[in-house]
Structure 1
Amino acid sequence: MITNDAIILGMLAVILGFVFHTASSDNRFWKRFYRFVPALLLCYFLPSLLTTFGIIDAHESNLYFVASRYLLPASLVLLTLSIDLKGILNLGPKALILFLTGTLGIVIGGPLALLLMSVFNPDLLNGNGPDAIWRGMTTVAGSWIGGGANQAAMKEIYEVGGQVFSAMVAVDVIVANLWMAVLLLMAGNAKNLDARRGADTTAITVLKDRVETMQRKHSRNPTLQDLMLIAAVGFGITAIAHGFADVLAPWFQANAPGLSRFSFTSPFFWLIVIATTLGVIAAFTPAKKLEGAGAAKIGSVFIYFLVATIGTHMDITALRDSPELFLLGLIWMAIHAGLILLVAKLIKAPTFFMAVGSQANVGGAASAPVVAAAFHPSLAPVGVLLAVMGYALGTYAAWFCGQLLRVVGAG
């Protein structure tokens, strides 16, 4: 069993490098392989094998702590720097309606799925301990509304036990990628689906032209100065967030301990909320120009290292022992999918808006561009745009979903 964190970090870096190298390869085998197996799934799955086969002991490693306390808030800052509220509004009301419908479906879907499953298996309402099912579900809510960063945030905010977290990471990854496969199939049949629904797709053409113009205007090769400024903004705001969290959490603990129910006494809660909020504020300052130099890409690098460390806490054998959790995840996703498909039909929205709005929630910035690009390569940034909004909303919406889950699961 390897215990040296430097070796484990190197192994995770090699795994991520291998996945990204093969995913972009022109080799016929790899093209066919990644047609069926999403790269994001491997970023979780391959590190999980290190734990499953006893090669490393993730619970004794400090890598997750470093990734969650330093890389996570910095990534949230860098990803929210690119948020463009005007650009999002210009997508039209249907895109926003479907995105927010997807968020609502996840927020209410979790508690509803838990209630439904508890009728057949009352043991799922297993109280308030660290391995309570509802606590584990908060991490899935964080992942499906925002992404890996928000998932890690919910793990710490709701003090999720290692056993249920391991099982829920497996549920999250498998169910989310099954739904992504469905969306990619829908992308291939978008014309027929749009015609059947009577959706007006002229806005998509305009959108393609606008996105291509924006890309040409703002993208540039980053200089050393750009990269240092990106690091300064990301980690500087992270430091500010840590400083306020270290003051606010003890203050609430001493003066309003009853608010612990809402996580106000958790330093990690304040760390993530403050980092996200300051990142959104920074998006309205000259710091926004750093996005053209690749701030979001660096934030994504941090996210993938976080994803890999989360993967080391995933024991894929946990689903064998708890198949009911997998069914719980499928019901939850079915509620999200059913709601967003219903609204898309009612407002006659293009399949593109429905698919990207859903994946911007469920998959975040890692996979929403993949689904968007399945419609047209120039539309990939639209997936990022909505996914970034998911990062901004993820912490708040997932926390609220956690409060609903607490009511259902803890009684």
Structure 2
Amino acid sequence: MSKKRKEEKTYEEFIKKEKPENTEKAIGVIGRKWEKYCNERNLKLTEENHQKKICQFLIQLKLSPEEEYSGKTFKTYSSNLMVYLKEKVDLGFQISPKAEVAIHNTVENRLKMILEDPSKRVESTIPLSVDEQKLLVNKLSIDIPKHFTVLVLFSLGKHLCLRSEELTMIRLEQLKFCDDNGMKYIVYSQGESKNNHVIYGNPNWKPKTAKLFQNSEDPKDPYQLILRYYNFRIKVPYNEDSRFFRAIKHRNFKKMPIHKGAIHPKTLGDYVKDCAKFVGITHNVTLHSFRASSCSQMHRAGVSTTAIKKTKSFHRSDKGLDPYLHMSLSQEKEIDSTLHLNPIKQSTNFNFNSDNISSLLSNSSNQENPKPIFLLSNNQNCIINFHYNSPKQEYSLEKQITLMNHLKDQNEKETNNN
């Protein structure tokens, strides 16, 4: 028997054994089984033969019957599976650009619907197809689990390198995804503090001190603010405006009933571990080690990320927790790069205009080593803006100082007018 005939025979045997329960699990099941099948036999097929075998695979698994899925949909299933396999297995060919564009446009529309329309986001178990995962991986540079609630928790925590107490303060409906040249921002929810518990999550802005930043040029500058959190267990309301983080009864991805209550760090820690296992991380993962490793990876990639430190250890004997947050452009110059923060003096009347500041900085003459910049606002909505610059821009120290002086002057003028 020829080698080709032998491969076809083993492939037919493989098809007969695999029967996923439903179409939602189809692509993932096929991808994992087909990946294992290819690895065991060291198969490298041509694009034509591979696409043909995928179609045969789908037919025999009864995932794409002619009366339900025909023509375009049939090819879409095949393309989705190839996208999945391209990430996992060396197939020896590239997916056509037209197919990638079609998948991208389809997924972009669905993600926009999920992220921006609250009525489409009521369910906590919205399954994500392989092409949707691929798009989100490209946008956030991370691996993701398959359900939306856990997806946002896992991806946002890794992307922004935030701790659990920071995550509980983010309003999901204000989370925006843009391209690398756009603006990514989050809005912290507002609320009142009662009995040492923050009802909605209330960020506490304080000026940094010389004790915290020994190497800073002007450590007592009140305009260089840092963000402190003083509550470890944060109360969150049970309403449609903040459906995101709540205490969850069940850890199963398929069944996640949500109820009122405070979120304990262990709840988030368990989810991080589950998500890490889901995406193939075998070693033990904690919230803090996960955040630290993610922060290092983002620094090496040249992306401005959140670096979090604490002034007290997280032991039960501690009377209080005082972690703080700042931004840096590199691990080597973590303290010296605080000028890149461009924080604004705390004022409820300050209107932050990112467009004006962006135009201020866009005239930089040095364009050899582009770096992202982090623009920090402390207005009524407490918006934190993640501004990703175009590839051919760099902001020198002189420009940073110019911007800082401009912000101070503008803030003083508004104060005098009021």
Question: Higher RCO, 1 or 2 (CA under 8 Å, sep at least 6)?
Answer: 1
Higher strand share: 2
Instruction: Please tell me the TM-score bracket, short chain as reference.
Output: under 0.3
